[in-house]
Amino acid sequence: MPSCRLRCYSCCSAWFQCFATYDPYPKLQKVTCPVLALNGSKDLQAPAELNAPFLRLAVTWSPRSCVKIVDGVNHLFQSTQSGSEYVRITETFSPGYLSKLVTKYFRKFTEFESSIERSVKMANRRSYKRELEKRG
């Protein structure tokens, strides 16, 4: 009986009510840095098929943002068959694919930054040359 009361209290608490009704969209619209959003395909707490489209829509403003679904991992990014066997999983974080995905994203991001820096340098050189030509 105590666990039933605890569950009922948890669902009726102010924290849970806030958590269950919170809409992150307005906050995500204000984010100015690049976003890498990852969802596990076996996530039962935040199902990827529901969350990924929402996240893609929320970060469309940034070409440097990326939303990916990581195949075969749960909410904690642990390799899983069903998504619910937390107690039996000894892995803390799925190795391999996930680290490659994050590395690939950051490489892409730094290459993007480098291309912007190159463009700015080229524009500055052209501007400098024009200024020199004016002075003759």
Q: 18 lies in a domain?
A: no
The mean pLDDT values, 10 residues at a time, for the chain of 136 residues are 56 81 85 86 92 87 84 88 82 76 77 62 66 70
Question: Would residue 35 count as lying in a domain?
Answer: yes
Within a domain: residue 4? no
Torsion of CA 80, 83, 88, 94, to 10 degrees: 40
Distance from C-alpha of 19 to C-alpha of 117, rounded to nearest angstrom: 41
pLDDT of 93 reads 77
Range of the domain at 89: 23-135
Residue 16 lies in a domain: no
Q: Are 84 and 44 in contact (CB under 8 A)?
A: yes
Q: How many CB atoms lie within 10 A of CB 129?
A: 10
- Kindly report the pTM of this predicted structure: 0.64
What are the residues whose beta carbons fall under 8 Å from the beta carbon of 43, sequence distance 6 or more? 73, 74, 75, 83
Domains in the chain, number: 1
- Residue 112 pLDDT: 60
**Is 1 part of any domain?**
no
- The pLDDT, as a whole number, for residue 6 is 54
